[in-house]
Amino acid sequence: MRPRSPAPAALGAPSDPQQLMVRRGAAAGIGLLVVLLLVFGIRGCLNGRQEQALKDYNRDVASLVQDADANAEDFYNTLGGGTAAGDGGAASTDVQSEINQLRTRAQGLTKRAEGLSVPGEMRPAHVNLLLSLSLVQEAIGKVAEKIPAALSTDSATAVPAVRGIAGEMRAFDAGDVVYNRRTAALIKQVLDDNEIGGQVIESSSFLQNLGWMQPSTVARRISSQAGRGAGDGAASEPAPGTHGHGLLAVSVGDLTLTPGDANSLTAASNVTFNVKVANQGDNPEQDVRVRVRISGAGDPVRAEQVIDQTQAKTETTVAIKLGDPPPIGQAITITVEVLPVSGEKNTENNTLTFPAIFRRS
């Protein structure tokens, strides 16, 4: 007989239900831990990306504002290089051309701002950034339009233009207010809310100083002699005592003009009148305007110069160059006038007139 095969051995002891539950619980815990690690890892990555986006935006805005400030500085330097016709230096058309180039650069800065990657939390700050840059861009263009008139030798043309330029400077000031009070402040708030430290928030200085908002200061800085009568729009009471000036003498070259005679003058490309003025009051006077007008033959020829200050009881001679050539060979009248100052009551000696004729040399 064939021997009986032995019974197969048992594969293992029966599973313990409690041990099985422990194993399942451990597996579930590990799975949960993996899920949590993935969730927190993804969230950490997202938070890291968001933090970097906020930092990048602040950095991009800072770079942009630095360039805008530099453009504004070039704008003021260009304005200060302008001179009225006939005074030498940069011609008004050259100044206008340079300012128009700066306006184009400002437009490029605005477009660059429009192309920035803006995190959602920074959108309110960005809206104000665009407003600030557009205010400055538009003001530069407006000044470019006004500069030829502001540098005219005709005060009737120059004075309104100078006042207009001073008015445009309010837009530069508004640009600073909008940027510093809204853009920069909102950027800081967002960074603080996200607990992001160590960031430098750029401030703007589009308006160089408050003097540019005063017409009289603008006229001096851009060398607009005819625009010096623009004033600052604020009347003040004159100091106690007498005020006023008188004309003492007018000469052209070696010839002193005589009111009652027909004065014969030699025509030249740049005729200069030397006008002696006396401060006959008890007070120093600021921005004293002296005018020369030639009439009687064609369109009048005008020129004006401003004396920064005259001292009480002293004499001053101011040189006034004609911007246009005088008429030649025709009888004319030369009128010279020192304009009244605040508080001046006696103006009888403020004007002198001379019959004259210009002849070729």
Alpha helices in the chain (DSSP H): 17-80, 92-114, 123-150, 155-178, 184-193, 215-221
Query: What per-residue confidence (pLDDT) applies to 8?
Result: 55
Whether 46 shows a pLDDT value over 60: the answer reads no
Q: Mean pLDDT across the stretch 89-113?
A: 90
Cβ-in-10-Å burial (0-12, 13-18, 19+) of 177 comes to middle
Whether 86 shows a pLDDT value over 50: the answer reads no
Query: What per-residue confidence (pLDDT) applies to 342?
Result: 87
Whether 11 shows a pLDDT value over 60: the answer reads no
pLDDT tens, residue by residue, 193-212: 999 989 999 999 999 999 99
| 136 touches 206 (CB < 8 A) | yes
pLDDT tens, residue by residue, 237-255: 788 999 999 999 999 999 9
Whether 112 shows a pLDDT value over 80: the answer reads yes
Query: What per-residue confidence (pLDDT) applies to 227?
Result: 85
Query: What per-residue confidence (pLDDT) applies to 153?
Result: 82
Query: What per-residue confidence (pLDDT) applies to 87?
Result: 47
Report the CATH number of the 245-359 domain: 2.60.40.10
Domain ranges of the chain: 43-228, 245-359
pLDDT tens, residue by residue, 116-161: 999 999 999 999 999 999 999 999 999 999 999 999 888 889 999 9
Residue 3: pLDDT band (50, 70, 90) is: low
Q: What is the DSSP string of 274-305?
A: EEEEEE-SSS-EEEEEEEEEEESSSS-EEEEE
Whether 167 shows a pLDDT value over 80: the answer reads yes
* Distance from C-alpha of 333 to C-alpha of 297, rounded to nearest angstrom: 9
Q: What is the pTM of this model?
A: 0.65
Query: What per-residue confidence (pLDDT) applies to 18?
Result: 73
Query: What per-residue confidence (pLDDT) applies to 275?
Result: 98
Q: HEC states along 6-32?
A: CCCCCCCCCCCHHHHHHHHHHHHHHHH
Pick the range with the lowest mean pLDDT from 49-53, 185-189, 303-307.
303-307
* Average per-residue pLDDT for the chain: 87
